[in-house]
A and B are shown apart, each in its own frame.
Chain A
């Protein structure tokens, strides 16, 4: 038993139980499906994970901050619509492949702007972020429909849809972008003043105010970051499809919250990290992919994922009486 507690790997797994789960499902699917453990499929998992994963990074920040963002699915759709539509504007007609650049920039700016609106309202009105972003979820989806007029947009420039097929050596470019963002957000959260203050504000807002931390701007910055990441995710998703539909990203907020909570971030704020979130999104990605390969109907994935979420919550309540170590939720 003493060995068990001294072994650094086991101790790390005890603190990040979701990675233990990732390991178990990974080994399970490798043994039970001959197609699972292949370079091609592992690349696939990373690409599939990147969509939810990018947003989950931002959601981790927002949730550690003690807030929540339900509007990410709509922001994703709005950014995707802009990215695909703007490149076919007449003013960029002579730009060749460069017409993609202003389109993507505008899409990302729209995402940041939507996040800024949410953050500003939460900051200035003091209305709960759950309510503000619930309203924004409806409202931004409305903007998507106003902008697209209920139509789907198709990318006329094939360089746009070819982008998602590129790869750096063994890694698809979408996976590279995702992993890069993981590193940056991890650095932001664990090595910068903004990251430390994010924990402080979520952990004890009164104490943070008394310590002279400006609560509002930190919340607003985090909402802008999640807006940016949701927009980026929308752009990358639209490169995969070469199109943007107005209903893109529906229910993504629920998947994202599931992933982040599985990764051990607390809804009440102040607790959580990017490593856990990465485990959470990988767990969902591997589970969906592996069950597909084993030809389990997609329906069962819903039941299993929901059950796991509740089981994790139960286990945490049951075994985690201390405030630190073990399962955190």
Chain B
């Protein structure tokens, strides 16, 4: 019986729910479409998932620290509009650092309000979502922006270029994932984030600078958004002023699918990468099967709930919730 086996600490397989689901989906899709497992297709899925993926890395760290970040979507709009608009005005070599600094400032505001003033992260970042969306519209005057000389600029390499045959977005996403994984698993900062998310009071008693740690998680999240904006701006060579609308919830969906607990204290960067790839492969596989793009949302609905349900069930040792 599944129930009794779950009770006995759970088979290892239930704890790797996301990995199992991932493998099942990969096998199913590759049986139904012969193009699915081709190198070209896999590469293009990796490339498409890089933008959401990079943002999800930052949000994972915020969530492990016990907070939420709903402002990444409008922050992405902000950063992309800024870097694309400044590209033609002051050149890419200046536009990129200016945009990164501006985005980090927004992250610092989040970090100050949530880390230092200890305000509720969901409401603060909800407010910032609205504020930043307003700032984007004020800055751009409601106009879309684009880059005039799309072929002659080296800015194109971030979104469109390739190194040794591997698209740059994949390299950026992969590198960041490895770096953050190392930071979160081997460095003191990673341990501090886990401690703060797991038990804030205990972390303070252990001498961990809680405020500073939370502040840093929001700076990292903003940095990830800035990197995502460089990829996005460079790939599209233009930007609508609401380009990131709704991204915050897609990113959060990927993070949750990766098994990171919204309560904080547990989660892993590599599993977030798996969550991101899973969503991307579901989307790609369904489209290859000739389904309209919105079918992925229905599948995502089921996948999120089942994945998290199995995760929760394995932890409590019972399939169904004990509440009456």
A residues sitting closer than 8 Å to B (CB atoms) are 70, 121, 123-128, 130-132, 134-143, 145-146, 150, 205, 209, 214-216, 250-251, 254, 257-258, 261, 267, 297-310, 313-314, 317
Extra contacts besides A126-B320, A251-B245, A303-B135 (19): CB < 8 Å: A123-B321, A123-B323, A124-B320, A127-B305, A128-B262, A134-B252, A134-B253, A135-B301, A142-B300, A216-B321, A258-B126, A305-B130, A306-B127, A306-B128, A306-B131, A310-B123, A313-B120, A314-B119, A317-B117
How far does the Cβ of B140 sit from chain A's closest Cβ, in whole Å? 9
Closest 4 CB pairs of A and B: A139-B301, A302-B134, A126-B321, A142-B297
Q: Interface size (B, Cβ < 8 Å)?
A: 51
- What is the chain A residue whose CB lies nearest that of B130? A306
Does B268 interact with chain A (Cβ within 8 Å)?
Answer: no
Contact assessment for B119 and A209 in the assembled complex, using a CB-CB cutoff below 8 Å: no
Contact assessment for B123 and A127 in the assembled complex, using a CB-CB cutoff below 8 Å: no
Q: A209-B324, A302-B130, A302-B134 are in contact. Are A127 and B117 (CB under 8 A)?
A: no
- What is the chain A residue whose CB lies nearest that of B136? A299
Chain B, range 261-306, C-beta contacts under 8 Å to A: 262, 292, 294-298, 300-302, 304-305
How far does the Cβ of A277 sit from chain B's closest Cβ, in whole Å? 15
Among candidates A216, A301, A313, residue contacting B123 with C-beta atoms closer than 8 Å:
A313
B residues sitting closer than 8 Å to A (CB atoms) are 70, 113, 117-120, 122-124, 126-135, 137-138, 142, 245-246, 249-250, 252-253, 256, 262, 292, 294-298, 300-302, 304-305, 308-309, 312-313, 316, 320-324
Contact assessment for B138 and A300 in the assembled complex, using a CB-CB cutoff below 8 Å: yes
Residue of A70, A215, A258, A309 contacting most chain B CB atoms (<10 Å):
A309
How far does the Cβ of B35 sit from chain A's closest Cβ, in whole Å? 24
Contact assessment for A143 and B298 in the assembled complex, using a CB-CB cutoff below 8 Å: yes
- What is the chain B residue whose CB lies nearest that of A309? B127
- What is the chain A residue whose CB lies nearest that of B320? A124
**Bound-state Cα–Cα, A137 to B297, Å:** 9
Contact assessment for B127 and A307 in the assembled complex, using a CB-CB cutoff below 8 Å: yes
**Bound-state Cα–Cα, A205 to B262, Å:** 19
- What is the chain A residue whose CB lies nearest that of B294? A145
* Cβ contacts under 8 Å, B249 to chain A: 70, 134, 137-138
**Bound-state Cα–Cα, A283 to B304, Å:** 36
**Bound-state Cα–Cα, A139 to B117, Å:** 36
Give the A-B pair count, Cβ closer than 8 A.
159
Contact assessment for B321 and A125 in the assembled complex, using a CB-CB cutoff below 8 Å: yes
**Bound-state Cα–Cα, A140 to B294, Å:** 10
Contact assessment for A261 and B123 in the assembled complex, using a CB-CB cutoff below 8 Å: yes
**Bound-state Cα–Cα, A251 to B242, Å:** 12
Among candidates A127, A297, A310, residue contacting B128 with C-beta atoms closer than 8 Å:
A310
**Bound-state Cα–Cα, A215 to B146, Å:** 54
* Cβ contacts under 8 Å, A261 to chain B: 123
Q: A123-B321, A258-B130, A303-B138 are in contact. Are A132 and B123 (CB under 8 A)?
A: no
* Cβ contacts under 8 Å, B117 to chain A: 314, 317
14 contacts between A and B (CB under 8 A): A70-B249, A124-B320, A125-B312, A131-B305, A134-B253, A138-B250, A215-B324, A250-B245, A258-B127, A299-B137, A299-B138, A303-B138, A313-B124, A317-B117
- What is the chain B residue whose CB lies nearest that of A215? B323
* Cβ contacts under 8 Å, A131 to chain B: 256, 262, 304-305, 308
* Cβ contacts under 8 Å, B120 to chain A: 267, 313
**Bound-state Cα–Cα, A299 to B132, Å:** 10
- What is the chain A residue whose CB lies nearest that of B128? A306
**Bound-state Cα–Cα, A146 to B291, Å:** 11
How far does the Cβ of B3 sit from chain A's closest Cβ, in whole Å? 14
How far does the Cβ of B102 sit from chain A's closest Cβ, in whole Å? 16
- What is the chain A residue whose CB lies nearest that of B74? A302
How far does the Cβ of B78 sit from chain A's closest Cβ, in whole Å? 12
Contact assessment for B119 and A301 in the assembled complex, using a CB-CB cutoff below 8 Å: no
How far does the Cβ of B83 sit from chain A's closest Cβ, in whole Å? 20
Contact assessment for A257 and B126 in the assembled complex, using a CB-CB cutoff below 8 Å: yes
How far does the Cβ of A7 sit from chain B's closest Cβ, in whole Å? 31
Contact assessment for B305 and A138 in the assembled complex, using a CB-CB cutoff below 8 Å: no
Residue of B70, B262, B312, B321 contacting most chain A CB atoms (<10 Å):
B321
**Bound-state Cα–Cα, A131 to B306, Å:** 11
**Bound-state Cα–Cα, A298 to B241, Å:** 14
Contact assessment for B131 and A135 in the assembled complex, using a CB-CB cutoff below 8 Å: no
- What is the chain A residue whose CB lies nearest that of B137? A299
Residue of B246, B301, B304 contacting most chain A CB atoms (<10 Å):
B301
**Bound-state Cα–Cα, A216 to B321, Å:** 10
How far does the Cβ of B281 sit from chain A's closest Cβ, in whole Å? 16
Contact assessment for B292 and A254 in the assembled complex, using a CB-CB cutoff below 8 Å: no
**Bound-state Cα–Cα, A175 to B142, Å:** 32
Contact assessment for B321 and A124 in the assembled complex, using a CB-CB cutoff below 8 Å: yes
**Bound-state Cα–Cα, A251 to B130, Å:** 10
Contact assessment for B253 and A313 in the assembled complex, using a CB-CB cutoff below 8 Å: no
Contact assessment for A125 and B300 in the assembled complex, using a CB-CB cutoff below 8 Å: no
Contact assessment for A313 and B323 in the assembled complex, using a CB-CB cutoff below 8 Å: no
* Cβ contacts under 8 Å, A214 to chain B: 324
Contact assessment for B131 and A313 in the assembled complex, using a CB-CB cutoff below 8 Å: no
**Bound-state Cα–Cα, A313 to B113, Å:** 10
* Cβ contacts under 8 Å, B142 to chain A: 299
* Cβ contacts under 8 Å, B113 to chain A: 310, 314
**Bound-state Cα–Cα, A127 to B296, Å:** 21
- What is the chain B residue whose CB lies nearest that of A255? B130
- What is the chain A residue whose CB lies nearest that of B122? A267
Q: A127-B312, A301-B134, A306-B134 are in contact. Are A146 and B298 (CB under 8 A)?
A: yes
Contact assessment for A146 and B295 in the assembled complex, using a CB-CB cutoff below 8 Å: yes
